[in-house]
Amino acid sequence: MTGLSLPVLLAPFAVLALASTVAGVLSWRAGAEPGPTLVNLTQRINAWWVMVTLLSIAILFGKNGVILLFAFISFAALREFVTLTYTRRSDHWVLLGMFGIVLPFQYWLVWTEWYGLFTIFIPVYCFLIMPALTALHGDTERFLERIAAQQWAIMIAIYCVSHVPFLLFLDIPGFEGREVLLIVFLIVTVQGSDVLQYIFGKLFGKHRVSPNVSPSKTWEGLIGGLVSASLLGAALSVITPFTPLQAGAVAFMICALGFLGGLVASAIKRDQGVKDWGHLIEGHGGMLDRADSLVFATPIFFHIVRYLWTV
The least CB distance from residue 306 to another protein, in Å, is 32
The least CB distance from residue 87 to another protein, in Å, is 6
In contact, 115 and 71? CB cutoff 8 Å: no
Q: How many amino acids of this chain bind another protein (CB under 8 A)?
A: 23
Residue 278 interacting with another protein (CB under 8 A): yes
- Of 79 and 178, CB closest to another protein: 79
The least CB distance from residue 145 to another protein, in Å, is 11
Q: Which helix (H) or strand (E) holds 217?
A: strand 214-218
In contact, 206 and 220? CB cutoff 8 Å: yes
Residue 279 interacting with another protein (CB under 8 A): yes
Residue 75 interacting with another protein (CB under 8 A): yes
Please identify which residue in 99, 111, 169, 219 interacts with another protein, judged by CB under 8 A. 99
Residue 195 interacting with another protein (CB under 8 A): no
180 CB-side CA count, 13 A: 21
Residue type at 145? E
From residue 139 to residue 178, the character string flagging contacts with another protein as x (rule: CB under 8 A) and all else as - is ---x------------------------------------
- Of 24 and 100, CB closest to another protein: 100
**Measured distance CA(169)–CA(115) in Å, rounded:** 10
Please identify which residue in 209, 232, 236, 280 interacts with another protein, judged by CB under 8 A. 280
* Distance between first and last Cα of the chain: 22
CA distances from 71 to 19, 120, 161, 221 (A): 29, 18, 8, 32
Cβ atoms < 10 Å from Cβ of 120:
12
Please identify which residue in 28, 31, 89, 311 interacts with another protein, judged by CB under 8 A. 89
- Of 206 and 275, CB closest to another protein: 275
**Measured distance CA(14)–CA(184) in Å, rounded:** 15
Residue 105 interacting with another protein (CB under 8 A): no
**Measured distance CA(254)–CA(89) in Å, rounded:** 39
| Interacting residues with another protein (CB under 8 A) | 75-76, 78-80, 82-83, 86-89, 92, 95-96, 99, 142, 272-274, 278-280, 286
